[in-house]
Structure 1
Amino acid sequence: MRRHDLLRVPPATWDAMLARHPDLGELPLVTGWALQGWPVIVRRRLAADASGDIPAALPLPPAYGKRRIAFAFPGDADLHALPPVSLRDAAHAAPPEWQPVIAEIIQLGEAVGVVPRVFGSLLWQHATGLSYIAAGSDLDLLWSGANHASMRTLAGELQRLDEHGAVRIDGEIEMPDGAAFNWRELALRRGGDTVLLKTMAGVELRAIDDLIRGPVA
């Protein structure tokens, strides 16, 4: 399991999880989440998580408090991995004013050979049909499989689009082992600097030169 992986949870597995976390059943939408067929997302491990558990989360929409809810499943739980959601597939759920920059980002992905994936508000609006995108929402993207030659280009072009587009672009470049860093750190720093790398186990600092010295795909 990697951060941002999506899982479908059968209702029986969901009910068993709620029995382990009974306080969650009192929150809006949570009890019927699995019955609706809505996914959950794999998150970073917390100190309270048992080593064999699968850490997951879901966010409530702004109308329900915009709360991020964390829980875990036993390692042998009946869970089904879902394919990642591409920006192209989720674009229909984005506001009209986002569409021009989305089109440019899709073209950028084609140019660098990486299909941008979504997480954040656009993912959840696409996956659930509920209203997650609000004024000030970011467009959160995950770029997996960029090689060392394209990472700088990718970060630079995202910075350009972010400065001139109608929506703030956020997100991460993911390494082959699932560790990821915010693309802004690469755009705003030079070789010799370090970036904050997020992993399933926590965070660590790594030199930019180490990240881009060789192929990462």
Structure 2
Amino acid sequence: MAEALERHTMVKTSAAAWTAVMARHPEFAEHVIIEGWVRADRPLIVRRPGCSDPAGKIPLGLPLPPSHGKRRIAIALDAGEIIEHKPPPLLADAAASAPSAWQDTIDRLLRLCPETRTFGSLAWQHLTGLPYLSDHSDLDLLWPARATGQASTLPFEIADIARLAPMRLDGEIICTAGGVQWRELTGADADDVLVKRQSGVHSMTRAAFLAGGTP
């Protein structure tokens, strides 16, 4: 796999690679759900690298459901051990796994940007069939600004939906430079925002980010 994988990419690994992971991390053996994760055809998610991650490997995460303590498992794999990679699921596809109280808000979000993707509890419940959602769950989203053609107004349109939503709307608007937490983008054009990429965090003005600039 020659291309770099950005944050939030969903990946799958081979059974042999997962057996090797379990051998490197014997502490995982006390959690049957972890041992059987790949056998159940469940994905991992690309995360930003940490100080302890080996150079040259792809940092991955496995967030366990609340029934298993919501523990976040961090591992790193060689690129050759990844057999499939996909973007996080479309909100439209995951919507069927959402609580009924969320449906009106999801409908509004999809009218605003049909290409919206989700990566948090709703995504994991949709992808695994395990119970991740609770009464206190956020709805974690990724909005591709290029898909709307209205990048400058998108943060304010999200804010209008968030004011009436029964859950907290969290997540990032994605432009050429990377992703910015959507609430940061409701400020003035000259305000600095933090842009997150797999390679690190950068600062640039709101106007430059939404115009498609790079740090």
Global fold match (TM > 0.5) = yes
Mark the CA change 1:156 to 1:78 in structure 2 (over 3 Å): closer, same or farther. Answer: closer
CA distance in 2, matches of 1:167, 1:130: 20
Aligned-residue offset at 1:148: 9.2
Aligned-residue offset at 1:12: 1.4
Counterpart residue number, 2:33: 29
- In structure 2, what residue type is equivalent to 1:184? R
Aligned-residue offset at 1:210: 1.8
Counterpart residue number, 1:94: 98
Counterpart residue number, 1:41: 45
CA distance in 1, matches of 2:155, 2:28: 38
Counterpart residue number, 2:205: 207
* Residues 131-140 or 205-214, more deviating: 205-214
Q: For structure 1, which runs of at least 5 residues remain unmatched after alignment?
A: none
Tell me the TM-score normalized by structure 1: 0.90
Structure 2 residue 146 is the aligned partner of structure 1 residue 146:
yes
Counterpart residue number, 1:81: 85
Counterpart residue number, 1:186: 185
Tell me the TM-score normalized by structure 2: 0.90
Q: For structure 2, which runs of at least 5 residues remain unmatched after alignment?
A: none
Aligned-residue offset at 1:46: 0.8
Structure 2 residue 68 is the aligned partner of structure 1 residue 68:
no
CA distance in 2, matches of 1:174, 1:212: 9
CA distance in 2, matches of 1:209, 1:195: 10
C-alpha offsets along residues 177-211 of structure 1, whole Å, 9 cap, x if unaligned?
5x211111002x11111111112133222221221
- In structure 2, what residue type is equivalent to 1:182? Q
* Residues 1-10 or 71-80, more deviating: 71-80
SS of alignment partner, residue 132 of structure 1: coil
The runs of at least 4 consecutive aligned structure 1 residues that moved more than 4 Å come to none
- In structure 1, what residue type is equivalent to 2:185? L
- In structure 2, what residue type is equivalent to 1:202? G
- In structure 1, what residue type is equivalent to 2:181? N
- In structure 2, what residue type is equivalent to 1:155? P
Counterpart residue number, 1:174: 174
* Residues 75-84 or 63-72, more deviating: 75-84
CA distance in 2, matches of 1:83, 1:205: 25
CA distance in 1, matches of 2:18, 2:132: 22
Aligned-residue offset at 1:28: 4.6
* Residues 27-36 or 77-86, more deviating: 77-86
Counterpart residue number, 1:117: 117
* Residues 60-69 or 8-17, more deviating: 8-17
RMSD of Structure 2 on Structure 1 (CA): 1.9
Residue pair 1:7, 1:79 contacting (<8 A) in 2 also? yes
Residue pair 2:172, 2:182 contacting (<8 A) in 1 also? yes
SS of alignment partner, residue 196 of structure 1: strand
Mark the CA change 1:65 to 1:214 in structure 2 (over 3 Å): closer, same or farther. Answer: closer
- In structure 2, what residue type is equivalent to 1:186? L
Residue pair 2:175, 2:210 contacting (<8 A) in 1 also? no
Mark the CA change 1:21 to 1:145 in structure 2 (over 3 Å): closer, same or farther. Answer: farther
Aligned-residue offset at 1:173: 1.2
- In structure 2, what residue type is equivalent to 1:207? T
Paired residues, number:
210
Counterpart residue number, 2:13: 9
C-alpha offsets along residues 13-60 of structure 1, whole Å, 9 cap, x if unaligned?
111122222222323510000001011100001111122101100111
- In structure 2, what residue type is equivalent to 1:125? Q
